[in-house]
Chain A
Amino acid sequence: MQALTNRIKHVDRRKMNFLERLYLVAIFKGMLITFSHIFKKRPTINYPEKKRPFSPVFRGLHILNRDEEGRENCTACGLCAVACPAEAITMEAAERQTGEENLYREEKYAAKYEINMLRCIFCGLCEEACPKDAIYLSETFAPADYQRKQFIYKKEELLIPHPIEDPEGYKKALGNKVKKETAN
């Protein structure tokens, strides 16, 4: 019969000879293969002690940003909530009172800002929608918890540490966000 393609694999159907029927050679070969794995590099890393670096485009938990003086950037415009395909973001706006200029950068601010981390799909559209550079996705991922309501992150969880009171925490939370900005 003529072959249509030249991809036929011929199966060896010869009867096994005495040496092959003993299986000892095959077993010996197998033993050598497993033994050689002793010297192979292990792909596993010791996780909590050693962590693999995230990709620069990794999208983790959200952070609500402050400016250099520690004032919240968010003006509660609601663009992020509109952009959110999972409808995970809710907020309530409030007007800035006199004497609160050191807390909020503009006249309007978010009195309540919640992200439901169980709904969030970490697409990063909120970050893209934000005109005030107030929200961005950091390099940490959502930790486990015991209750569903714990996954609704409020302002306390989302706000970045104060840059003047806790400069180290601020820098850490900012991560390579700075690098991304300067690179552009």
Chain B
Amino acid sequence: MLLAIDFALIIEKLVLIVIVVMASLLIAMYATYGERKIAAILQDRRGPNRAGPFGILQPVADGLKLFFKEEIIPDFSSKFLFILGPSLAMMTAIMTSAVVPWGGKVHLFDRDISLQIADVNVGILYVFAVVSMGVYGIMIGGWASNNKYSLMGALRAASQIISYELAMGISIIALLMVTGSLSLKEMVVQQQGSLWNICYQPLGFFIFLICAFAECNRAPFDLAEAESELIGGYHTEYSSMKLGFYLFSEYINMFISSVIMSTLYFGGYDIPFVNEALYDQNLMAILGVLVLMAKVICFIFFFMWVRWTIPRFRYDQLMNLGWRILIPLALFNMLVTGALVLLKQNNWHF
């Protein structure tokens, strides 16, 4: 029956969506603060400490500043695309969070509420699809600006993401051979019972990590906005909150890719050394979310730590690394994993 729609389910999912989107915005906001603070600490400086205690209100001040800035749309730009660019970047950044399992099940109002917006059985493919859409935001923005630096930045971003997506995809295939599932939830459940996937796929994780840096346009792969060469790259012509959207989407991307990495390789919301089935379900679900967040924060710190350590790659070095090192390495990893999986199915007989 069509009328037998479970309204409670719709409400439940809506609430979850609002919470997840708000949370990722909040975390991205404080990632900007964290970035400045970590940069300062790694360089023996103090970082923002004027707005509120320890500068806690700094992201709010930054956001307000961006809102109050004059909005400039260049005369020779195509206005529709110019506005579409940052919107697309922001939208795709947030969309990825839909398939991430944030925790186990919570028992509330006589319902088992799964802390995941959509348990799509091709979850990881969905993530890939949306992440590769993200480059459209950058490309459209760079194209619509009608500025050679923006165009160069956009071209670089596009070629970089295409190059690194290949290696990333191949490293994921090796992981899929181990887990035998495309659903992120299924992967976490598998890791809860046994070792985390990092133990089975260390090389794959390493390749995935490098590619994640490239996909997020983070240093040392931030060629798309290489400020010393391309002024600001694809967002040279952007101002006010449209610029804010681009910068913000970068931080959301960083957050989401940290979540994906934790989920794929580090057990997601799995609490290490604890058998979740033995304790209260709700408590474990909440603890699981917190543990996932702790893992994510470690990854975000790692992102920033790398940014303030390694200088930017040259463009040819970037392409060299992507095509001639990472892709062969990922292929090798896939072959070895495939052989081992086959052998295991054959009970270690040739």
Contacts and interface: CB of A to CB of B under 8 A. Distances in A.
B44 interface: yes
A40 B44 contact: yes
B67 interface: no
Interface stretch (A31-39, A55-63, A81-89, A146-154): A31-39
A86 B44 CA distance: 40
A103 B305 CA distance: 66
Contact of A37 (B43, B46, B49, B306): B43
B308 A34 contact: yes
Interface of B: 41-46, 49, 305-306, 308-310
Given A34-B305, A42-B46, A46-B49, A27 B310 contact: yes
Contacts, number: 31
A38 B45 contact: no
Nearest to B325: A22
Contacts of A30: 309-310
Contact of B305 (A31, A40, A41, A44): A31
B329 to A, nearest CB: 11
Most chain A CB atoms below 10 A, which of B45, B49, B306, B309: B309
Nearest to B302: A31
A37 B308 CA distance: 11
A42 B305 contact: no
A44 B46 contact: yes
Contacts of B49: 46
Interface of A: 27, 30-31, 33-35, 37-38, 40-44, 46
Contact of A27 (B44, B45, B308, B309): B309
A34 B42 contact: yes
B44 A43 contact: yes
Contacts of A31: 305-306, 309
Contact of A42 (B45, B306, B310): B45
Nearest to A33: B309
A37 B305 contact: no
Nearest to A27: B310
A38 B42 contact: yes
The 5 closest A-B pairs by CB, nearest first: A34-B309, A30-B309, A34-B42, A42-B44, A44-B46
A44 B49 CA distance: 12
Contacts of B41: 37-38
B309 A37 contact: no
A37 to B, nearest CB: 5
